[in-house]
Amino acid sequence: MTRSIRPLVAGNWKMNGLKADLAIAAEVAKGYDAEFAGAVDLAICPPASLLYPTSVALIGSRIATGGQDCSTQASGAFTGEISAAMLADAGGTFAIVGHSERRTLHGESNATVKAKAEAAQKARIVPIVCVGETKDEREAGKALAMVKKQLRGSLPEGSTAATLVVAYEPVWAIGTGLTPTAADVAEMHEAIRTELARLLGKAAAAGVRLLYGGSVKPSNAAELMNVANVDGALVGGASLKAGDFLAIARACA
């Protein structure tokens, strides 16, 4: 944790969730507001079909909502795309961009991720820009170099602590139950903070929230969240269980 930074725990529901699952958001809100709304920020990023109803379900709570992606474009003939302004219109304040599933399954390059992050910022949506190495890259000793390259290519110039969140998500840790050691996370997050200072300046870098993501669970959250320069978590599978998501938030608070 970075003492001066308010942590953020964001849940990525991926392509999961029907209307009935709004009950999960309501349960999270109940626990969050009662226990630690003052100590940690929470966001839920449901599938696009549920963004508006989730935002409505969370009215009165301090939990934010967000999209899992956004278009590089503002509007027009882009069938199937959702613009950042549409996310904002549906109550969203965050957009995950550059998730490894988008980079891998949809061939998104660093340039595309950067354009999406810029589009989000233009609509006053805070992009959660995901970066992370593959298993082969880690085993080849190239993890730090790969992540720095992704940062250089994916982050909008002029981003500040208020307009950017970065999530380090090792590809091999997402949905696998595997996690890096605390020492590896510490090394990577320090390197990310240093690279941010080079790219955005010291003041911005000092305040940007750096989330760790990849198989975060209640059982490992305390260890991972206590690592220096880890300012919260991006949570996939465990965010679909209200009790688990709250337990992870508790580890940050």
Of the residues 99, 108, 189, 195, which is catalytic?
99
Q: Is 12 in the site for ligand PEP (CB under 6 A)?
A: yes
Q: Which is nearer to ligand PEP, 200 or 242 (CB)?
A: 242
> Is residue 60 classed as helix, strand or coil in its secondary structure?
coil
CA distance 39 to 54: 22
Of 216, 221, 225, 246, which one interacts with ligand PEP (CB under 6 A)?
216
Counting beta carbons within 10 angstroms of the beta carbon of residue 104, is it exposed (0 to 12), middle (13 to 18) or buried (19 or more)?
A: exposed
Decide if 139 is catalytic: no
Q: Is 91 in the site for ligand PEP (CB under 6 A)?
A: no
Neighbours of 54 (CB within 10 A): 26
Q: Is 67 in the site for ligand PEP (CB under 6 A)?
A: no
- From 52-60, 102-110, 150-158, 209-217, give the range in contact with ligand PEP by CB under 6 A: 209-217
Of the residues 133, 137, 169, 195, which is catalytic?
169
CA distance 201 to 183: 26
Q: Is 235 in the site for ligand PEP (CB under 6 A)?
A: yes
Decide if 106 is catalytic: no
Task: Using alpha carbons only, give the angle 152, 144, 198 rounded to the nearest 5 degrees.
Answer: 40
Token pair in block for residue 101 = 């599933």
Of 47, 53, 175, 218, which one interacts with ligand PEP (CB under 6 A)?
175
Neighbours of 142 (CB within 10 A): 14
Q: Which is nearer to ligand PEP, 163 or 220 (CB)?
A: 220
Residue at shortest CB range from ligand PEP: 236
CA distance 206 to 9: 18
Q: Is 179 in the site for ligand PEP (CB under 6 A)?
A: no
Q: Which is nearer to ligand PEP, 174 or 208 (CB)?
A: 174
Site string for ligand PEP, 187-206 (x = CB under 6 A): --------------------
Of 84, 215, 225, 227, which one interacts with ligand PEP (CB under 6 A)?
215
CA distance 204 to 11: 24
> Is residue 142 classed as helix, strand or coil in its secondary structure?
coil
Of 66, 128, 236, 248, which one interacts with ligand PEP (CB under 6 A)?
236
CB distance 96 to 68 below 8 Å: yes
CA distance 98 to 113: 5
Q: Phi/psi class of residue 102: alpha, beta or left (left: φ > 0; alpha: ψ in -120 to 50)?
A: alpha
Q: Is 166 in the site for ligand PEP (CB under 6 A)?
A: no
Residues at the site binding ligand PEP, with contacts judged by CB under 6 A: 12, 14, 99, 169, 174-175, 213-216, 234-238
Positions marked active-site? 99, 169
